[in-house]
Amino acid sequence: MNTASRIEIIAPADALRRQRDGAVIVDVRESHERATGFAEGALGIARGDLEADPQAALPDRNADVLVICQSGARSMKAAQALIAAGYTRVASVDGGTTRWIAEGLPVARDERDFDFYDRYSRHLRLPEVGEAGQRKLQAARIAMVGAGGLGSPAAFYLAAAGVGTIVLADDDIVDRSNLQRQILHTEDRIAVPKVESARIALAALNPTVNIETFQERITAANVERLIEGADVVVDGADNFPVRYLLNDACVKLGKPLVYGAVHRFEGQVSVFDAGRRRGHAPCYRCLFPEPPPPEAAPNCAEAGVLGVLPGVIGLLQATEAIKLILGIGEPLAGRLLHFDAMGMRFRETRLSADPDCPVCAAGRDFPGYIDYAKFCAA
């Protein structure tokens, strides 16, 4: 006889009556699915866990067991597995929790983690993220320099993704000219410190994220205080002295640095992870041993920038930061991604570690911080 033919299929109302007579309802959905509501009194155990060790949850093979899922498909498969494991009285609830709720039967919900499961439900459905990955994001700490064009989209999406702590460093205030591209800020927050404006925007988006503000210009004296404890550092700076300083500090402290830069209609992104991978991954200095002369690299105020361009680059930076925290995919370490908005083209340049790099060469002691403004001006 086919195993499926031995499984009784019952309506939710009948399941409720049998539960009140002593039957056990087992909800075999994942925990994030059960968080939105489950049959009151049901035992929650994911199908994979139930099938791996049914006796841990159901020691009596002669108990009346009613299996429920979202719509009825998984519960049938779980019921078949229980029959195969020697359980004698197993039924599957037709229509699952969807029908149970539609018929107005009693529902329970775990309020403690409801926000977590509801807010990140689309992440939780991704096998590459899942609950374990989302908990990693929740425990992560990201330090960001700049709450402007690059920092705005990066911070927005990192907060939305549930990164537990975001440290934002910027000593500037909001100006009307920022609003064309710096989407963290609004008209009514002109003249407000950018880090405070950013904190307001990010807290409104996701109040579960901890936002730490650092209203200081980044220097050699305070850079380590900013990035200590960070899992990833995101570079949203708009000048070369800070980029070199951040790079050197990340090499010294072994922090992955997600780099981004924009100019007029073009941008670029990379990951510099030389601090953790000496001699294998390049640092910013391997790409730019010397800074370009000031006239060759005017800032946005001088050269202008397409407003949406920092959005594209900032989102790529946020993507790389999330991948680094989760340990998934292939990061941009050793690769420089160029984006040309006018031609709508991406191209990639391979980067290698410079064996003579003064900061990240294998076996080389950290040389110490320098006068970065003087270095870049020279």
Higher pLDDT among residues 3 and 358, named by residue: 358
The pLDDT of residue 295: 62
- The per-residue pLDDT for 300 is 67
Specify if 327 maps to a domain. yes
- pLDDT average, residue stretch 248-273: 97
* pLDDT(2) > 80: no
Q: Count Cβ atoms within 10 A of the Cβ of residue 211 and give its class: 0-12 exposed, 13-18 middle, 19 or more buried.
A: buried
pLDDT at 64: 95
Mean pLDDT for the chain?
93
CATH classification at residue 214: 3.40.50.720
Last residue of some domain: 67, 88, 113? Answer: 113
The helix-helix angle for 309-326 and 130-139 (nearest 10°) equals: 110
Mean pLDDT for 197-223 is: 96
- Please indicate, yes or no, whether residues 60 and 205 belong to a single structural domain of this protein: no
Average pLDDT (248-254) is 97
Question: What's the pLDDT score for residue 6?
Answer: 74
- Same domain, residue pair 244 and 184: yes
pLDDT tens digits for range 148-178:
999 999 999 999 999 999 999 999 999 999 9
Residue 11 domain flag: yes
To the nearest whole percent, how much of the chain has pLDDT over 70? 96
Q: Does residue 147 register a pLDDT over 90?
A: yes
| Residue 273, domain extent | 123-377
Residue tagged active-site, from 250, 283, 286, 300: 300
H or E stretch at 81: helix 73-84
Coil/strand/helix, residue 222: coil
Angle at 263 between CA 168 and CA 255, to 5 degrees: 40
Asked if residues 170 and 148 have their Cβ atoms less than 8 Å apart, the reply is yes
| pLDDT at position 114 | 82
CA 38 to chain centre: 28
Do 329 and 236 share a structural domain? yes
Q: How many domains does the chain have?
A: 2
Confidence at residue 1, expressed as pLDDT on a 0 to 100 scale: 43
Q: Are residues 238 and 95 in the same domain?
A: no
Q: Average pLDDT, stretch 45-62?
A: 94
Between 268 and 1, the more confident residue is 268
Domain presence at residue 118 = no
Reported confidence tier of residue 260, pLDDT bands at 50, 70, 90:
very high
Residue 363, H or E segment: none
Check: CB of residue 318 under 8 Å from CB of residue 162. Answer: no
Reading the block at residue 190, the tokens are 């002109």
Over residues 85-108, mean pLDDT:
95
Region 308-337: mean pLDDT is 97
DSSP string, 179-213: GGT-TT--GGGTTSBHHHHHHHHHHHH-TTSEEEE
Q: Is 300 a catalytic residue?
A: yes
Please tell me the predicted confidence (pLDDT) of residue 36: 79
pLDDT digits (tens, 9 = 90+) for 116-128: 988 999 999 899 9
| Structure letter (DSSP) for residue 305 | B
